[in-house]
Structure 1
Amino acid sequence: MLGAASATAQGITADDYIPFDPDQARIGQLLFYDKVLSGNQNISCGTCHHHDHAGTDGLSLGIGEGGVGVGPDRTASTGDDAIRKRIPRNAPSLWNLGHNSIEVLFHDGRLSHSDIYGNGFDSPAQEWLPAGLDNLVAAQALFPLVAQFEMAGNPRENEIAGAVHDRIDAAWPILAKRVRTIPTYGDMFVQAFDHIEEPADVTIVEIGNALGAFITSEWRSYDSPYDAWLAGQPLPDDAERGRQLFFEDLRCASCHAGPLFTDQGFHALALPPFGPGRTRQWDPMPRDVGRMGFTNQIEDAYRFRTPSLRNVALTAPYGHNGAYPTLPDMIRHHAGQDHWTPAMAALPSVPWLAAGDFAIRADTLEMTRQAAVRDLAPFAVTDAEIADLVAFLNALTGDSADTRPLGRPDTVPSGLPVDH
């Protein structure tokens, strides 16, 4: 939050976004909420990025494949469907991912533009990510489909999970066939994509591009009171005081820079750890080493991508693991005011996982390692200043944030139930 200089305020226009095809976006809207893309056909992208929760799920760590319900009311199911693991990181916001400045995605930045593998991206799929994906968001959309605890399911449960166990790209053709053999989808793809002459031509690339068209067009937001301020209208007094704190006195914009309020860099905030962690194969404890897990560079340990702050007031809880339930809590953590307790974590009850939820906190060596890597020096901030900062952050909420172009469909072509 502290830095050498404040950033210049910047706005957004409609021209700053990736172009999209409306017909492709309509397919993407349906696929986004269609559970046909999950291994056991029991979860969709929209389950964890739901319109009712501003494109998130309102949980610290989500309940993925096998769960029941939406948002904070989602449960971990029972019996054979009982979940085996919480999702190790907080469901990230989708707002403005279609902005043309976006260079890297995921909390650890494991997806970025690159020619290293000949397909346009540096990703966990390496050379097995298919060529032809339109943009980062289209590429990103393919990875939850093959993540065991997010959407794929467990090995031996379904053909998708089994294929992923062989190689990451082995499941995508199976999913594509599922989709294109549904007549409504097949016809829609033929109409929306010039190079698709018959449904049999549809691959995971077109599915990713349709999802990308929907996400990049659906979650645009640039009509906030702050945008009106950029155009010459005054902010409320408390928000104006918060703006000055943000850009000048506390220099929050050193990291939360640019029109999206993110430098797209990676910083260590020493957030309180809990949950299963996004562990590597050789990790002896349920920890999350952040960007280091992708780069294998020790200097990246415990660092995570700076989130955009547009519509941040709508997307609690906060942090890569959703540690803090409110904006004042998150600001206090930035300031170095240690006040976190396990009760602050929004974790649906999962009795059979409870013993491990906070196990990492008993590992004194790991806790010391994480606390030692912190890119923010403590700073003084009063309760009144925190209130003003929160007022400014609320001024980043778009006036039309709760009115999306397409929204959630009532039904999807597979006939599977849509989460409401």
Structure 2
Amino acid sequence: MDADVGFESALSGARAAISGARDAWDRSAGHAFEPVRHQPGRPEAGLLPFPRAFDDARRSSRGHAPGLRLVPAALSRVTRRCTMMTRSVGTAYLGLLVLASGCDGWNTPSGPPASIDAELRQSLGGWSVVPIGATPVQAAALVDLGQALMFDKVLSGNRDIACATCHNPVTHAADGLALSVGTGGSGLGPSRTLGPGRQFVPRNAPTLLNAGLGAFYLFLDGRVSGFRSGPFQTPAGVVLPSGLPTLLAAQAMFPVTNREEMRGAPGDRDRFGNPNELAELGDSDFVSVWQAVMRRLLAIPEYVSKFNAAFPQTPTSQLGFQHAATAIAAFETQALTKTDSPFDRYLQHDDAALTAEQKRGALLFFGDKARCASCHGGPLLGGGDFANAGVPQLGPGTGRDAPLDLGRGELFNQSGYRFAFRATPLRNVELTAPYMHDGAFPTLEAVLHHYNDVPRALREYDASQLPPALQPMYHGDEATISAVLANVDGRLSRPLGLSDVEIRELVAFLQSLTDPSARDLSSLVPARVPSGLPVQE
């Protein structure tokens, strides 16, 4: 095939794919998203791997133009089909590279925008930033059960920590700590402290605000992934129970299995001095852990009544922890979805919803200078990409690489994923400090100063901004810094050149992502839970 003909054919196909997928998205009210980028030769979430040439070309193009970092599922499905069809035609990769690199000039109006609003709305369209549709209403009985489970410490091995301990409404569905304090700790929020002989949870507790909106990946390393309603890829593999209705429900299956977070260590005794039976189970025996938690719950008559009300078609004898996880996810979705920010009103064509400073910050965010949207695009402003952002390494680390934390690189033994973490959605981000996978930065300003010159900022990181207990756990040796920088994302390998004024404008825009109703969530804390254990201690 002649190269020019092949290129034009692929380009035409890419244009048609975008047009058709955008039409499909316009007719859709869903929130399912999936990633375009995959490591060559390694399927993720049951999707086909992209050819190495295409993947390498997309990676090399990062930072130069808006890529399809997070796109509607319909568009991604079309893209995957195009990839399969052109797998044997090398020149056609160039056409798909145009699609992936954001060279979609056929959708860009000619001539300069008439106003800052016209320019901003043009940028938003290029990043698939559209209004978020209405969230499905959850059944009242399901939400009631989920609220009780969310705050009940009976789910933890030592009966001393609940899901809401690290995802507390009082601290905006997070805990306000750089690294979380799991079982054995005491206190709540930023004042929570480690218990004797315990270690910090290796990562920051991400907020659950808007977690039910349908991101393709959950957890900071993306180890739970899939479309909103399945199929799901999780650490449990084939033993994950069927019947989980959403990815958030699948995610809720796993905190109870984690030793540092909720399950406890072998030999632990619970708050009453009784043996912790959950801690004696094997680390890979997910099914036994889930069954043990359900035995606890169904030994409490009030929980039996709540489960029967929430799942009237399921006999008590057939209830499993997947039903508990479904209820927890329903509560999180109903109570913690917060999408009425000034930015959301702007997306609904209220030009006065944003200040001039916030609009300038948005132009930086979605523009070529700051390039924030290359990781934080789409309606959720993130959640569908992974990047090594050159974040300082601190904490106990994870897995075989401890005390370092390789993030997604621990799941996929490929150099491209070393130190890469999920680019989390940014809605309500103003409320959820500290930031990054290990809470290394206490403010949004600190994050942006880091992004402005990542190599320099990493080498000059000041560990004194960390809580005293974490300062000795900062890994600032030259070998670690060099290892992180060797794989830093290409979009961040060079200084951005942002001025102090531009950083303030970016912060102002990020503050426009806050839903006022998310500022005070204390009404979500129940007065009591069925186990009778204390709720807020």
Provide TM-score, normalisation by structure 1.
Answer: 0.90
Q: Larger Rg: 1 or 2?
A: 2
Q: Secondary structure at the match of 1:366?
A: helix
Q: Secondary structure at the match of 1:112?
A: strand
Paired position in structure 1 for 2:323: 206
Q: What is the correspondence of 1:34-49 to structure 2 with a 5 Å cutoff?
A: 34-49=152-167
Shift of 1:42: 0.1
User: Which stretch has the larger CA shift, 259-268 or 228-237?
Assistant: 228-237
515, 525, 531: which one aligns with 1:408: 525
Over 3 Å counting, the alpha-carbon distance change for 1:2 and 1:299 in structure 2 is closer
1:4 equivalenced with 2:4 (yes/no): no
1:321 equivalenced with 2:424 (yes/no): no
Shift of 1:168: 2.7
CA contact under 8 A between 1:242 and 1:392: conserved in structure 2? yes
Unaligned runs of 5+ in 1: none
User: Which stretch has the larger CA shift, 293-302 or 151-160?
Assistant: 293-302
Over 3 Å counting, the alpha-carbon distance change for 1:386 and 1:57 in structure 2 is same
CA contact under 8 A between 2:154 and 2:297: conserved in structure 1? yes
Unaligned runs of 5+ in 2: 1-61, 67-122, 269-275
Supply the AA of the counterpart residue of 1:398: D
Paired position in structure 2 for 1:33: 151
Q: What is the correspondence of 1:211-226 to structure 2 with a 5 Å cutoff?
A: 211-226=328-343
Identity %: 38
Over 3 Å counting, the alpha-carbon distance change for 1:205 and 1:405 in structure 2 is farther
Shift of 1:160: 0.4
For 1:225 and 1:83, the matched residues in 2 are separated by 46
Paired position in structure 1 for 2:95: none
Q: Secondary structure at the match of 2:225?
A: strand
CA contact under 8 A between 1:99 and 1:216: conserved in structure 2? yes
User: Which stretch has the larger CA shift, 224-233 or 321-330?
Assistant: 224-233
Supply the AA of the counterpart residue of 1:113: G
1:144 equivalenced with 2:255 (yes/no): yes
Supply the AA of the counterpart residue of 2:294: A
Shift of 1:271: 0.4
Deviations 1:184-206 (A, max 9, x none): 110011111132233x4321111
For 1:340 and 1:21, the matched residues in 2 are separated by 48
1:366 equivalenced with 2:366 (yes/no): no
Shift of 1:179: 0.7
Residues matched between the structures, number: 399
Paired position in structure 2 for 1:120: 231
CA contact under 8 A between 2:441 and 2:447: conserved in structure 1? yes
Paired position in structure 2 for 1:268: 388
Shift of 1:341: 1.1
CA contact under 8 A between 1:57 and 1:70: conserved in structure 2? yes
Over 3 Å counting, the alpha-carbon distance change for 1:19 and 1:346 in structure 2 is farther
1:76 equivalenced with 2:137 (yes/no): no
For 2:239 and 2:246, the matched residues in 1 are separated by 16
CA contact under 8 A between 1:179 and 1:185: conserved in structure 2? yes
1:107 equivalenced with 2:225 (yes/no): no
Supply the AA of the counterpart residue of 2:299: T
CA contact under 8 A between 1:155 and 1:165: conserved in structure 2? no
442, 451, 476: which one aligns with 1:334: 451
For 1:3 and 1:69, the matched residues in 2 are separated by 47
For 1:318 and 1:346, the matched residues in 2 are separated by 14
Q: Secondary structure at the match of 1:150?
A: helix
Paired position in structure 2 for 1:58: 176
229, 237, 255: which one aligns with 2:356: 237
CA contact under 8 A between 1:221 and 1:400: conserved in structure 2? yes
Shift of 1:408: 1.1
Shift of 1:239: 1.1
Shift of 1:156: 2.2
Q: What is the correspondence of 1:165-184 to structure 2 with a 5 Å cutoff?
A: 165=283, 167-184=285-302
Deviations 1:206-256 (A, max 9, x none): 111111111122211111111122222321122122112112242321211
CA contact under 8 A between 2:528 and 2:534: conserved in structure 1? yes
Deviations 1:292-318 (A, max 9, x none): 111222221111111111000000011
Provide TM-score, normalisation by structure 2.
Answer: 0.71
For 2:225 and 2:523, the matched residues in 1 are separated by 28
For 2:199 and 2:520, the matched residues in 1 are separated by 34
For 1:135 and 1:31, the matched residues in 2 are separated by 17
